[in-house]
Chains A and B, each alone.
Chain A
Amino acid sequence: MRTAPARKHTWRRQVTPWLFLAAPLALLVTFTYVPVASLIDYSFTDWDGVSPTRSYVGAENYTELFTDADRFQVFFVSVYYLVASAVQIVLALYFAVILSFSTRFRNLFKGILFFPYLINGVAIGFVFLYFFQDGGTLDSVLGLFGYEGDRAWLGSPESANTSLAAVSVWRYMGLNFVLFLGAIQSIPGEQYEAAELDGASRWQQFRYLIAPGIKPVISLTVILSVSGSLSVFEIPYIMTGGATDTQTFVIQTVKLAFQFNKTGLASASAIVLLALVLLVTWLQRRLVPDEKAELT
């Protein structure tokens, strides 16, 4: 008598979650797993994205990606953004630490440093096109300090990539900064008081109190920055369209797929990026075991 309702109960407990998960899983499979599976499939073909037929070409696309110097160039561009991320993290950490101590106009400074993150990417692109143009904002600022002369900041590959990477620091530093600041402020205040009483200097407070407290956030930020540097798209696409050797991995992939109809090659390229991101994540998990990084 008593087992029947109980069994009905467990049966319901087994089925109900699937009712709630039906729509989310359908979306997840349709827009993430089906695309990833087809990417793998397309990457071994010469498909152009429109014609009904496609033939398998083995690993040819992958060979082209890694041997053609033009294709490989995009990886060097990522280096600019990797360096920029390092600068960005250091700056964010610096500002988070100094603003965690009592500071006048703290909220104002916090707001100003964070605000760029909320600006539309196209707007940022245009703001900095004007900033870097001949006789634009940057030249005028330099003029104030006596450095005369117009420079085409976006004119040569090296200068253009540096400028674009700097824009990305301008845009994203605030987010890192707010995350670090939040983590620092969640360290209990008594610990600072105790440290002050023991005569710890600011540097010692940072070294032994703040740094260990925010290690998980820093390690997360580092991995997000590495995969972010590999998948830069918006700013260079809007500002230069990938001209003067500022083409990034993603711009190249998008152009291959949607301008040159080389879906096969573009898919191989996407798979390489996916593999790189997974590799970086895996490395980070191995190097910095992170107790916070689980969903269950």
Chain B
Amino acid sequence: MTDKRIAVRRATATGLKYLSLVLASAVVIVPLIVIFLTSLKTPQEAAADDAAFSLPGDWLNFSNYATAFRDGEMLRAFANTGFIMVFAVAGTVVIGSMTAYAIDRFHFRFRKLVVGLFLFASLVPGVTTQVATFQVVTSMGLFNTRWAPILLYMGTDIISIYIFLQFIRAIPVSLDEAARLDGANYFTIYRKIIFPLLKPATATVVIVKGITVYQDFYIPFLYMPAKDLGVISTSLFRFKGPFGAHWENISAGVILVILPSLLIFLFLQRYIYNGFARGAVK
């Protein structure tokens, strides 16, 4: 009797568990599916009443994608984002690993102060300090250049430093000492021993930083209003203007922007989970 009741309770609990998971998945997927369906519709289909769940008449209607790609200047947007991403990510890796090396391997005067400066900076909300950062960037003549976001992404990334620190601590100091006995100087030790051993950390930083740069809207929006400097987010944002209520075109643009994220996620799932977990638990 009691065994049976326990079994019934277990089954109900399992049922509720899967129900909640399916519901949550639907909440995530349905808004995206609707946009995908809309992206394949003709203007008439998209403007019809109750259009949200109706299926496109022609599943191979890619004309909206062509419009979004051409009029949304997506090619240039991807090129600009790519350019910024390469320099910002490379810079972040160099800056982060050098900082971690200096902080972890040397006991120098004012070390505590330096660590404190980095720690405090991680608390400063970047979005609002832009009021003053804007003046700094303008006075350096970087306004409306791709170097403004590159430098800003490189210069304010405490999380990457933290990721490198976690890894560098695991590298035994005896390696450094052995190399010193062989006559290597500190720079050689950093370049030939530490940096190669930091590969997993570098991979994490590249992924996390790459995704952050790809997603960012605020900094390019603020610092690169020039039309030919549009990145993915700002180009998509501006694309909506002239196409106002043409949801079939906007949806195609949205899908074009989501697709690379989806592909990266499918291929690098494990690294992405670990990367964000490591970066956030600071």
Majority secondary structure, A binding face: helix
B30 part of interface (Cβ distance < 8 Å): yes
Q: How far apart are B25's CB and chain A's nearest CB, in angstroms?
A: 5
A85 part of interface (Cβ distance < 8 Å): no
- Given A122-B233, A123-B254, A278-B123, also A112-B25 (CB < 8 A): yes
Q: Quick check: B35 and A127 within 8 Å, CB to CB?
A: yes
Q: Indicate which residue in B24, B30, B94, B132 contacts A141 across the interface (CB closer than 8 Å).
A: B30
Q: B residues 1-53 with Cβ under 8 Å of A?
A: 13, 17-18, 20-21, 24-25, 27-32, 34-35, 38, 49-53
- Given A121-B217, A143-B50, also A42-B35 (CB < 8 A): no
Cα–Cα, bound, A105→B94 (Å) = 39
Per-residue contact bits, chain A 1-37, to B (CB 8 Å; 1 contact, 0 not): 0000000000011101111110111011011111110
B98 part of interface (Cβ distance < 8 Å): yes
- Given A12-B186, A120-B257, A220-B281, also A135-B155 (CB < 8 A): no
Q: Quick check: B265 and A137 within 8 Å, CB to CB?
A: no
Residues of chain A within 8 A (CB-CB) of B94 are 23
Q: Quick check: A31 and B136 within 8 Å, CB to CB?
A: yes
Q: Quick check: B123 and A277 within 8 Å, CB to CB?
A: yes
Q: How far apart are B20's CB and chain A's nearest CB, in angstroms?
A: 7
Q: Quick check: A27 and B154 within 8 Å, CB to CB?
A: yes
Residues of chain B within 8 A (CB-CB) of A14 are 108-109
Q: Quick check: B125 and A274 within 8 Å, CB to CB?
A: yes
How many chain A residues touch B (CB < 8 A): the figure is 97
Q: How far apart are A85's CB and chain B's nearest CB, in angstroms?
A: 15
Cα–Cα, bound, A258→B232 (Å) = 22
- Given A35-B132, A293-B282, also A233-B127 (CB < 8 A): yes
Residues of chain A within 8 A (CB-CB) of B232 are 120, 122
A281 part of interface (Cβ distance < 8 Å): yes
Per-residue contact bits, chain A 244-286, to B (CB 8 Å; 1 contact, 0 not): 0000011001100110000100110110011001100100000
B174 part of interface (Cβ distance < 8 Å): no
Nearest chain A residue, comparing its CB with the CB of B107: A13
- Given A130-B251, A295-B165, also A32-B121 (CB < 8 A): yes
Q: Indicate which residue in A31, A33, A116 contacts B151 across the interface (CB closer than 8 Å).
A: A31
A206 part of interface (Cβ distance < 8 Å): no
Q: Quick check: A21 and B52 within 8 Å, CB to CB?
A: no
Residues of chain B within 8 A (CB-CB) of A121 are 215, 217, 233
Residues of A within 8 A of B (CB): 12-14, 16-21, 23-25, 27-28, 30-36, 38-39, 42, 49, 91, 94-95, 98-99, 103-104, 107, 109-123, 126-128, 130-131, 135-137, 139-141, 143, 170, 175, 178-179, 182-183, 202, 216-217, 220, 224, 227, 230-231, 233-234, 238, 249-250, 253-254, 257-258, 263, 266-267, 269-270, 273-274, 277-278, 281, 292-293, 295-296
User: Shortest 6 CB-CB distances between A and B: which pairs?
Assistant: A27-B155, A270-B128, A35-B132, A140-B52, A20-B102, A17-B106
Residues of B within 8 A of A (CB): 13, 17-18, 20-21, 24-25, 27-32, 34-35, 38, 49-53, 94-95, 98-99, 101-103, 105-109, 111-112, 114-115, 117-119, 121, 123-125, 127-136, 151-152, 154-156, 161-162, 165, 186-187, 190, 211, 214-215, 217-218, 222, 232-234, 236-237, 240, 247, 250-251, 253-254, 257-258, 261-262, 264-265, 269, 272-274, 276-277, 280-282
User: What are 13 A-to-B residue pairs whose CB atoms are below 8 Å?
Assistant: A35-B129, A36-B124, A95-B20, A115-B265, A121-B217, A122-B217, A122-B233, A126-B236, A130-B31, A135-B51, A139-B52, A220-B281, A227-B123
